[in-house]
Amino acid sequence: MTQIIVSVGQKKGDFVGRTQMALQAAVDYVARLGGGTVQVGPGVWEMGNSLFIREHVRIIGSGDDTVLRKCASAETPLLDDIDWYGTSVRVKDPSIFSVGGGLLLRGKSPHFDRMVYCKRTVIAIDGDTIHIDRDPRDNFWTDTEPVAATLFPVITGDYVDDVTIESLCIDGNRANNDELNGNYGGGIFIQDCDRIVIRDVTSRDNNSDGMSWQVCDDVTVEGCRLLDNANLGLHAGSGSQRSQVRDCTLERNGQGFFFCWGVRDSVLEGCTIDESETHGISIGHRDTDNMIRGNTVRKSGGSGIYFRTHPQTKRDPHRNLFDRNLIEDSGTKGDCVAIEMLGAAEDVVLRENTIRDTRRKAKSRTRIGLRIGEEIQRLYLEGNTFEGLEQDVVDLR
């Protein structure tokens, strides 16, 4: 089947520009024609808002020479309430916004003890009044001191299927951006999307997650690089089924790979996860029937593999397979535990993994290969190798 191919360049192409505006125009044009490919040329593309993906569109760059760089963030207090049905908001400093740019409303809910977030696009500015493209469907009232900020994911999509993002670099400009929770942002953030392929993409220096997908089925992440992200390198979000993550490099992230809530029937394979600030791989709430195979996890600040705990056993991560992984030099403080199994997981298989420590021994810490919590049930250990540890296995059952 023949589909349209268009080019976007900074000096020449079917679409010409240097910001997200040219990229978005090309993506929207191709989507209107039923799908096709947007080829993005080299250069630094200044992102004043997200690039919103569209169905049946392939976005392909020129490798790491195509850099989507997030603008510096700024925030300003609200001068007046905006209710869930409103489409304009008054702010103290409107100069931080631009038409077509991104706007995040953020503040404590006036009704519940929780933070609320709303991502929108600026469509007009009239004095201190900012007009947005859609109502926020939440209340941001000045008595809870909400703010409006230029925070957003660099690439994002909601309820969009059948998209490929390939061969480009996302620069989150971390030093000049406030933190944005990974449930709302990241270098790439998608929600309620199916059959998304992300291949050969670098996502670096985000003050958030490198990539986050929430309530998404059949997401494939291949050959990507997640570097120096403040929170999670890869965030397989709540309710995501059948994710396939292979041959990725995750270095110096807050955590490496995070199985959120209810991630099932997914594969994490052939990845290298180095120097995570806390855990290399974290798994927990109803994350069941997943396969973690052939990964290398080194120099995690916490555990190489960490099983989170929950107050009810039915919420624990059951029936997961960990096969032929290398877990090396885990932990920097206190007891250094390569695989920490908290909670009450059932029917987990640890097979032919190598757990080792190559560092000089230190009197201040004990290096443990595997620590099994007292409520773990039916754990199957098959052919695992332990090297250079004070204690190979600590079984608290």
What is the pLDDT at residue 102? 98
Give me the residue spans of the domains in the chain.
Answer: 39-44+62-70+152-395, 75-149
What is the pLDDT at residue 335? 78
What is the pLDDT at residue 38? 98
Dist. CA 263–CA 308, nearest whole Å: 14
What is the pLDDT at residue 257? 98
Kindly report the number of other CB atoms within 10 A of residue 159's CB atom: 11
Overall fold of domain 39-44+62-70+152-395: Pectate Lyase C-like (2.160.20)
What is the pLDDT at residue 311? 76
Q: Is 36 left (phi over 0), alpha (psi -120 to 50) or beta?
A: left
Average pLDDT over every residue of 115-119: 94
Average pLDDT over every residue of 181-208: 97
Kindly report the number of other CB atoms within 10 A of residue 353's CB atom: 27
Residue 15 has pLDDT above 70, yes or no: yes
What is the pLDDT at residue 178? 97
Record the tokens describing residue 160, joined without a space.
């969009």
What is the pLDDT at residue 28? 98
Whole-number Cα distances in Å, 233 to 227, 249, 271: 7, 9, 12
Question: Residue 77 burial (CB < 10 Å; 0-12/13-18/19+)?
Answer: middle
What is the pLDDT at residue 362? 74
**Residue 176 Cα to chain centre, angstroms:** 19
What is the pLDDT at residue 200? 98
Each residue's pLDDT tens digit, 328-358: 999 987 779 999 999 999 999 999 999 999 9
Evaluate whether 320 touches 353 at the Cβ level (below 8 Å).
Answer: no
**Which of 52-56, 214-218, 226-230, 360-364 shows the lowest mean pLDDT across its residues?**
360-364
Dist. CA 23–CA 39, nearest whole Å: 9
Average pLDDT over every residue of 56-70: 98
Tell me which residue of 101, 127, 89 sits closest to 46, measured CA to CA.
Answer: 101
Each residue's pLDDT tens digit, 293-325: 999 999 999 999 999 988 776 789 999 999 999
What is the pLDDT at residue 1? 66
Among all chains, which residue has been given the structure tokens 């994002």? 156
Rounded to a whole number of angstroms, the CA Rg of the chain reads 22
Average pLDDT over every residue of 48-73: 98
Alpha helix ranges (H) inside the chain: 20-32
Mean pLDDT rounded to a whole number for the chain: 96
Dist. CA 28–CA 37, nearest whole Å: 11
Average pLDDT over every residue of 94-119: 94
